[in-house]
Chains A and B, each alone.
Chain A
Amino acid sequence: MIEFRSVRKQYDDGTVAVQELSLTVPAGTVTVLVGPSGCGKTTLLRMVNRMIEPSSGAVLLDGGDVRDSEPARLRRGIGYVIQQAGLFPHRTVRDNVATVPRLFGHGRREARRRAEGLLERVGLPSEIGKRYPAQLSGGQQQRVGVARALAADPPVLLMDEPFSAVDPVVREGLQDELLRLQGELGKTVLFVTHDIDEAVKLGENVAVLRQGGYLAQYAPPEQLLAEPADDFVTSFVGRDRGYRRLSFVDSSGLRAGSVDTVRIGDTSADVPSQAGWVLVLDTHDRPRGWLPPEATIHGQLTEDQLIAGGSLHTGGAPLRGALDAALSSPSGLGVVVDEDGVYLGVVTARQVLEILESGRHPAVSEGAFR
């Protein structure tokens, strides 16, 4: 558990980075500090490992004041992941990961062996260990950064905008990976970002900070979206918070309907009545696109005759995906698939709204706010 007790940071030139701020980060959870630049989120993070000392107040780590520990020793017991990964360019990936075990005095061989295990843990092949950081992609470097932070098995992990320098697709993969890892490891994670979507996705609790170092709201993400505390939080979480809140609503009450389907390679004889939209599947029953009503097919049905489909909703995932699938589909029918991408059925936006109206769904999933 990390506890900020009335911490305040004022620099010599008079600027205040953090106002008297108290915050408790529960053990074993991901807590996100989010806010615009200049809100003091990185300052707060660095108070935990004493890279910044508060002007007043105290930071407690599992009940003990961090000032009672010598900084270098304290830091070796706290994982830290930085933007751009901060890998050492002159050391191989393996030796980067082995850094903290080496600082703890472990032998090179043991530290490297451990490093290779960690690389696999974060989803990297162990042969990557012999390369230098410059030979990896941005996403791979970030994974190495996470592996390095985990190398000494610290109970606490500080992450300072770790994924903000990679492109959106890679970022999403890294976020999913972090959630998967956290499911296995159950660390106490304090995560800094300026991206509210990232905060809402990763955080069990989210602290929204305002310029000048004020805590605007501290709540589980679903509560943040449903009941923003003030105008600042409202504008910061964005206009479509009602829509984004659907990320926390269970879709199990949604009953998928059916639609006519054909397969790639079928001829016009196989195509049904053509009165409405027809969903086109591949040979593994995965959706490929749509045929509009009254479409004529010459010879065999090929991909280039299709209208591209919308996003796909994986059955059982939150309601947001179902609504998006319906809204983005050219037919207005959202395609539901299973985890392997196999077609299950279709849903309409109206069905999603009906579920919301009926209120039969559990309001929001139970948060971890304590």
Chain B
Amino acid sequence: MIDELVRYLSSPSNREVLLEQLGQHVYLALVPLIAGVSLALPLGRLAQRVRWLRGALLGTAGVVYTIPSLAVFVLLPGIIGTGYTSPVNIVIALTLYTTALLVRPVVDALESVPTHVTVAATAMGYRPHRRFLAVELPLAVPALTSAVRVASVSNISLVSVGALVGSGGLGRLFMVGFERPDLVQIPVGIVLTVLLALLVDLLLVVGWRSLTPWERAGRAVIGS
């Protein structure tokens, strides 16, 4: 097994393919993550502020997330008219999942902002949009981060499924590994996927910590 691994990795063309698929995987997982966060924030805010919309939005989000990913990958091209192997399918499908996954945590995170803080902000003369950006959003970051971390891991694993419908990414290694069969590609794919997930998670944690210095200050000795 080790010999096969060394043989596989020592081939420059194999390494090139690996790198390309890793790059595609990153692209297919992270673009939907960013798009999903950008969509979930305004939707979550809407659900938080408009009571009657809340049930509809959260309900829809729940349903969307339960649709099997493979079905979406297969059906989406027919609906939006893209080619079957187009990466756009994966990006759109995963954006939907990310958004659906994040809407509820966004609502919860915004509601975790203490009322006396938002009331004080209003009383000092913040208009609603600026208050959202300057007060509510920064305070929602800690609660949001954990949801975004889950979404990033979920995306990275779902991209592999996309390989079944012919998209790129590390999932190709599993497909090719089975078809040939060249089983060594499968553990290589698994290890790279897990490493990628861990790396992205680490970056999210680093980003979260740099955005919330006040959280750790709160835990420091009071009155020191």
B123 sits at the interface (CB 8 A):
yes
Contact A86 B120 (CB under 8 A): yes
Contact A135 B127 (CB under 8 A): no
State A10–B20 Cα separation when bound (angstroms): 66
Chain A residues closer than 8 Å to B124, beta-carbon distance: 75-76, 80, 99-100, 103, 148
A82 sits at the interface (CB 8 A):
yes
Interface centre among B124, B213, B224 (most CB of A within 10 A): B124
Chain B residues closer than 8 Å to A369, beta-carbon distance: none
State A84–B116 Cα separation when bound (angstroms): 7
Residue of B nearest to A158 (CB): B123
- The 8 A CB mask of B202-214 against A (1 = contact, 0 = none) is 0000000000111
Distance from A12 Cβ to chain B, minimum over Cβ atoms (Å): 13
Number of interface residues of A (CB under 8 A): 31
Q: Looking at the complex, which one of B117, B123, B135, B213 makes contact with A51 (CB distance below 8 Å)?
A: B123
B14 sits at the interface (CB 8 A):
no
Contact B218 A72 (CB under 8 A): no
Among B28-42, those with CB < 8 Å from A are none
Contact B222 A136 (CB under 8 A): yes
Contact B127 A131 (CB under 8 A): no
Contact B123 A90 (CB under 8 A): no
Contact B116 A82 (CB under 8 A): yes
Among B125-140, those with CB < 8 Å from A are 125-127, 135, 138-139
Residue of A nearest to B212 (CB): A90
B1 sits at the interface (CB 8 A):
no
State A137–B127 Cα separation when bound (angstroms): 30
Chain B residues closer than 8 Å to A72, beta-carbon distance: 125-127
- The 8 A CB mask of A119-153 against B (1 = contact, 0 = none) is 00000000000011011110000000100100000
Chain B, interface size category, equals: 20 to 34
Q: Looking at the complex, which one of B125, B139, B212 makes contact with A103 (CB distance below 8 Å)?
A: B125
Chain B residues closer than 8 Å to A75, beta-carbon distance: 122-125
Contact A83 B116 (CB under 8 A): yes
Residue of A nearest to B134 (CB): A88
A106 sits at the interface (CB 8 A):
no
A113 sits at the interface (CB 8 A):
no
State A39–B198 Cα separation when bound (angstroms): 56
Residue of A nearest to B218 (CB): A134
A49 sits at the interface (CB 8 A):
yes
Among A63-112, those with CB < 8 Å from B are 72-76, 78, 80, 82-91, 99-100, 103
State A131–B220 Cα separation when bound (angstroms): 11
Contact A80 B120 (CB under 8 A): yes
Contact B125 A134 (CB under 8 A): no
State A74–B122 Cα separation when bound (angstroms): 11
Chain A residues closer than 8 Å to B117, beta-carbon distance: 86-89
B70 sits at the interface (CB 8 A):
no
- The 8 A CB mask of B188-224 against A (1 = contact, 0 = none) is 0000000000000000000000001110011110111
State A76–B218 Cα separation when bound (angstroms): 28
Chain A residues closer than 8 Å to B119, beta-carbon distance: 51, 82, 86
Interface centre among A76, A84, A87, A134 (most CB of B within 10 A): A134
B74 sits at the interface (CB 8 A):
no
Residue of A nearest to B137 (CB): A90
Chain B residues closer than 8 Å to A99, beta-carbon distance: 124
Distance from B110 Cβ to chain A, minimum over Cβ atoms (Å): 14
Chain B residues closer than 8 Å to A86, beta-carbon distance: 114, 116-117, 119-121, 123
- The 8 A CB mask of B102-119 against A (1 = contact, 0 = none) is 000000000000101101
Contact A135 B222 (CB under 8 A): yes
Contact A49 B123 (CB under 8 A): yes
State A330–B119 Cα separation when bound (angstroms): 50
State A134–B121 Cα separation when bound (angstroms): 17
Contact B217 A87 (CB under 8 A): no
Contact A135 B120 (CB under 8 A): no
Interface centre among A75, A100, A145 (most CB of B within 10 A): A75
A residues with CB within 8 A of B? 49, 51, 72-76, 78, 80, 82-91, 99-100, 103, 131-132, 134-137, 145, 148, 158
> Can you give 30 A-B contacts (C-beta < 8 A)?
A51-B122, A72-B126, A72-B127, A73-B125, A74-B125, A75-B122, A76-B124, A76-B125, A78-B123, A82-B119, A82-B120, A82-B123, A84-B114, A84-B116, A86-B116, A86-B120, A88-B117, A88-B135, A89-B139, A89-B214, A90-B139, A90-B212, A91-B214, A100-B124, A103-B125, A103-B126, A132-B214, A134-B219, A137-B222, A137-B223
B residues with CB within 8 A of A? 114, 116-117, 119-127, 135, 138-139, 212-214, 217-220, 222-224
Taking A88-B139, A100-B124 as known contacts, 16 extra A-B pairs with beta carbons closer than 8 A to each other, sorted by chain A number, are: A51-B119, A74-B125, A82-B116, A85-B116, A85-B120, A87-B117, A87-B120, A90-B135, A90-B214, A99-B124, A131-B217, A132-B218, A134-B214, A134-B222, A135-B220, A137-B223
Q: Which 10 A-B pairs have the closest CB atoms?
A: A86-B120, A134-B218, A76-B125, A80-B123, A75-B125, A132-B217, A86-B116, A132-B214, A90-B214, A90-B138
